[in-house]
Structure 1
């Protein structure tokens, strides 16, 4: 009886095994099936082909159930950890200027950035509806990869689940993010003082208006695009000239009005806005007038609100205008002693009205 040589170069069985090991996994299906969430070969091929190859980095490539980091290396960059999570359920998945994948990356980056943190690592968990085209998922993941690369962060772990047709709306994404806050940075809404200046980095409402129009429910022809963008570079620019920023937050769902009401309640001060100073595109104003909406409540995905001491306002404004993400920045208001917990808007007619918290939904789901 002949004995097969143990050398893999001569053993046909070993050669076949080695060939299988070297073979790149490839999703053969055209649409998501329940098998892609079963934990078997179909799921492994989906994860390897679409996610691992796109997000490839030394931490992710370990394919463990968690990502691990060297604490000593992290502590060299700052003295505190910033940690956040968010979920993204936008409809449609692709819209003018962005898509759900880029939105998920930039939204989580921005939640870290407004604490003063340098974003480092993100997770990516997806819930896929049975029947979702594989090519749609591939496009979303490619967009996530591009956004992560642009921002200089890594996606290091994740999860995939598949639900029955009709149990979800095509694709949901959950992300979590970790960043490091440098020493000396203490940003909190509780620090706002009367006299502080309120600055925003550009035009309001572009994202909410773009989503609304992209749904095709209105016969409108405009060039409004989402403002989706990462803001950590702009935040770094701001902190370089004003480390003593009192408060900072990105104005997403609920828009500028919601952020400022949260600030007023947290700090027990009042806030006065000046309508003529608030940047809003004419096209967005037109959409709002047509539908009876208020741009102060429209969602944004690339806008942050900064509250700084009055004496630092002009320096911060100049620094923001020097950055591409802040070229349209403007001082739009100030903190006032009273009425505390209230946001007032001084209109172009020199009257004042209360800008309250949003009650209910101004728009259907937008982020």
Structure 2
């Protein structure tokens, strides 16, 4: 975001620039005044914080501030290409922040700092960019993180699809927190923090070619507060994962494969809204594979399952949490869904692309 821009003398704050015009031009990616004005006006104006304020080519973070939160650094990155950019319940900006915060949180880390890389297509409306940047800042504030560095690139019209965002995140993991897919053990219980499939259906409803009218909003939200609450109630949490692309089914298959165990699901306990079920039946899709942007799957020892579930339900991000299954010895590497008709079916990992450009 700050590449090739003249820097002010340390300790001296120059007046911020003001972006001109209504749409992005190639000049806004040139490294000159137009680029500086865009960054000052849209991005620095939204994200301003002490780590970002110097506008260097990197954020400089004090090790003492990091290590007081933990003894291991967690680092993640993700790129967002969702179509459309604006959808019921959110937009690409807050999605990018929440997604990266959640990737850190489900590793047991406390998210602290984010970067923001933006690829803009020539002609993109600056008003929309300002809205997206504002949404990113509000999401960052809600999650308790700061956007401290970034990059902006502009490509010619037709070389990209409006706007892509990359966010990377840094967090710290406290001593004693050990969360990994391979730690699932027979007897463990499987929890999810609420209704699945909302984000996938919200994106489908926002796409003009399907003409769906569904009263569903994206579930995009930060999960770091919920994870903190869960770990306080049940420090022995074995596995955590946010169920984004590939949905709940793919996450559970990853757990089963990593642990060499079987995940047994009870269909009757799966939290799925009736509207999501209805869309799924119309389109021939399975809610287990829909992307979510505010849902996590937790595998916990049976002894603390009730405590963990109660703690999740007491948090705003987990009030609809449910116990949906358990870990069993075998068949190893399989997810089995026990249906309401008394039978069972294998739930494979997602093959191919059920819904493109979903996040």
Q: CA deviation at 1:244?
A: 1.1
Partner SS for 1:61: coil
Q: CA deviation at 1:151?
A: 1.2
Alignment match of 1:131 (pick from 123, 130, 150): 123
Alignment match of 2:90 (pick from 84, 89, 98): 98
Matched with 1:261 is: 253
Alignment match of 1:86 (pick from 58, 78, 83): 78
Matched with 1:301 is: 293
Larger mean Cα displacement after TM superposition, 321-330 or 218-227: 218-227
Alignment map for 1:202-351 (pairs within 5 Å): 202-351=194-343
1:285-340 Cα shifts (integer Å, max 9, x gaps)? 00000000000000000000000001110000000000010000000000110100
CA distance in 2, matches of 1:151, 1:81: 18
Q: CA deviation at 1:220?
A: 2.5
CA distance in 2, matches of 1:85, 1:185: 21
CA distance in 1, matches of 2:153, 2:164: 10
Alignment map for 1:134-149 (pairs within 5 Å): 134-149=126-141
Count of matched residue positions in the alignment of Structure 1 and Structure 2: 347
1:227-267 Cα shifts (integer Å, max 9, x gaps)? 00000000000000111100000000000000000111111
Matched with 1:186 is: 178
CA distance in 1, matches of 2:60, 2:210: 48
Partner SS for 1:328: coil
CA distance in 2, matches of 1:42, 1:186: 47
Q: CA deviation at 1:183?
A: 0.9
CA distance in 2, matches of 1:163, 1:135: 18
Q: CA deviation at 1:68?
A: 1.3
Matched with 1:10 is: none
Q: CA deviation at 1:364?
A: 2.2
Structure 2 gaps of 5+ residues are 1-12
- Asked if residue 177 in structure 1 is aligned to residue 169 in structure 2, the reply is yes
RMSD of Structure 2 on Structure 1 (CA): 0.9
**Larger radius of gyration, structure 1 or 2?**
1
CA distance in 2, matches of 1:316, 1:217: 42
Q: CA deviation at 1:23?
A: 4.3
- Asked if the contact 2:204/2:212 (under 8 Å) is kept, the reply is no
- Asked if residue 50 in structure 1 is aligned to residue 42 in structure 2, the reply is yes
Partner SS for 1:36: helix
Matched with 1:4 is: none
Q: Give 4+ residue runs of structure 1 displaced > 3 Å after superposition.
A: 21-24
Q: CA deviation at 1:102?
A: 0.4
Q: CA deviation at 1:218?
A: 2.3
Alignment map for 1:24-35 (pairs within 5 Å): 24-35=16-27
Structure 1 gaps of 5+ residues are 1-20
Matched with 1:163 is: 155
CA distance in 1, matches of 2:321, 2:75: 27
Q: CA deviation at 1:216?
A: 1.9
CA distance in 2, matches of 1:112, 1:48: 28
Q: TM-score, normalised by structure 2?
A: 0.95
Q: CA deviation at 1:22?
A: 5.7
